[in-house]
Amino acid sequence: MAVSRDGRGPRENDMRALVATVMLAAVALLAGCTATPAYQENVFTSPLFTNYSDVASEENRWPPPYVLTYPDETMFFYRIWPYHPRADLIVRAISCSRTSDGALVVSARVQNMGSDIVPSVPNLNGDKASFRIAAVVTWADGTQQEVDAWVPVTLWVTASVDQKLSRTRYLFNDVRRIVVVADPDRIVPDPVRLNNVLVWQGTMSGDNPSCDVVRS
């Protein structure tokens, strides 16, 4: 077997050359890379930090709110989402029916055409609901009554809900005007609010009250 001048065999020299080549490649790879913090604009992922100052700057990006809002969308006083949810409630149609004793019942169809769902959350009355629908009913003599109902389900994007409101105290015969408002409490993050009101005006007679209005 041939021996080199340094007393090592060819197999040992090949092994040393291979190890040296791997080490040089690793050094070259590390020399061309720099460690930078990576942040993904996804509410379900967390950013990668290189030091504690990055953690502090990320926490200060969305500081704690100074005024609490209802419903509470924070966790330990920090926002749950790094953006403001946006919904768009539209009152698509209203209709009327009567009870056995002649009272009026108003129904409304509301659709969410925003980019975020309207979740069902615990409300001040203790029930879980997404938002409230209210209607102001006006009679011929000027008497007014507000009837309402809470929507108990989550309203997904593009989904609609048909909700019956509470009955009126008086008979339907002399009703002259009905104004239906979706989310009068402004719980839903709907900043525009152009289509959340629908109005009927006219007279009702007979045994079958009608106040059908459909938004075109």
Structure tokens at 27: 């050094």
Comparing CA positions, the residue from 201, 193, 105 lying closest to residue 149 is 105
Is 41's pLDDT higher than 50? no
pLDDT digits (tens, 9 = 90+) for 134-187: 999 999 999 999 999 999 999 999 999 999 999 999 999 899 999 999 999 988
Is 35's pLDDT higher than 70? no
SS3 58: helix
Comparing CA positions, the residue from 100, 107, 84, 76 lying closest to residue 180 is 107
CB 64 within 8 A of CB 78: yes
Torsion of CA 208, 144, 89, 85, to 10 degrees: -150
CB 198 within 8 A of CB 215: yes
First to last CA, the chain: 96
Domain range annotation of the chain:
89-214
β-strand partners of 104 = 98
Q: pTM of the prediction? A: 0.63
Nearest-angstrom CA–CA distance, 175 and 130 = 29
Pick the CATH number of 89-214 from 3.40.390, 2.115.10, 3.80.10, 2.60.40: 2.60.40
Residue bearing the bigger pLDDT, 121 or 53: 121
Q: Average the pLDDT over 29-45 and give the result.
A: 45
Q: Average the pLDDT over 106-132 and give the result.
A: 88
Token pair 């209005």: residue = 213
